[in-house]
Amino acid sequence: MSILMEVVAEQWEYRELLVRMTARDLLLRYKQTVMGFGWAIFMPLVNTAIFSVIFTRVATIDVGTPYPVYAFCGLVAWNFFASSLRFSVTSLTSNPSLVTKVYFPREIFPFSAVLVSIVDFAVSALVLVALMLYYKVAVGLPLLMLPVVVLAIVVFTAATALVISMANLFYRDVKYLFEIVIAVWMFATSVVYPIGRVGGKLGAVLALNPMTPLIDAFRAVLLDQRLPGMAFGVTFAASVVFLAGAWVMFHLAEFDFAENL
């Protein structure tokens, strides 16, 4: 516990550097692009259109709400998670001079990737609101739980970002395996179809996926006017423990970072 308090206090001390690093990464991400933040909207919309054709014309499924809203809602949450990890995985190895020559909390790199993706998340959320208005999706009191749900997603994402950024520094194969894992992981999560409808042994395995309760909770408070279930509470608590453990593990491994760059 003392180590955890130490790393949190140190991160708070370097909070201004985290803000500056996030601003730098945000500018670099969209530098010399024509659409800029438009990419945060364009890709989820394209994927929504594709999956809408598949699940409303080819293999029809009833999700209880207009399917484009259902799919876009899942994609907004998933793209934040996937984008955060995609930039986190190489966040240490792509900054060797800073990691080896200047001292500051190295977790700033993966945390910065997560914060940049939160900006994209906020931009795409505006389109989600527009879709909800277009399809006349009503909201209720459970919407007050939205900040808690978003916080849970951020906590789990930050913990995973710490682990994979560190893993890629020690084993460079991770960045190649990541693209395969993240693609499979998406279809093992309730992003574009309800995972709960998958039965048998496969359904039992998929039920262990921590991202499904988080995305289901995101939809529940936004689209279904209901509070998240117990699975969300368990996942949130486990995510907090996961973040604490990953942060401490990351801090203890920092002494070996320079030797592996």
Q: What is the pLDDT of residue 53?
A: 84
For 149, the token pair is 């749900």
Task: Delimit the domains of the chain by residue range.
Answer: 2-260
Q: Which of 40-44, 80-84, 114-118, 173-177 has the lowest mean pLDDT?
A: 40-44
CA 180 – CA 112 distance, rounded (Å): 23
Residue 55 pLDDT grade (very low, low, confident, very high; cuts 50, 70, 90)? confident
Q: What is the pLDDT of residue 113?
A: 93
Instruction: Kindly tell me the sign of the dihedral angle through the C-alpha atoms of 155, 173, 205, 197.
Output: positive
Q: Which of 39-48, 66-75, 112-121, 137-146 has the lowest mean pLDDT?
A: 39-48
More confident residue, 99 or 16: 16
Calculate the alpha carbon distances from 1 to 122, 160, 234, 247, 251 in Å.
33, 20, 21, 11, 13
User: Model's pTM, two decimal places?
Assistant: 0.92
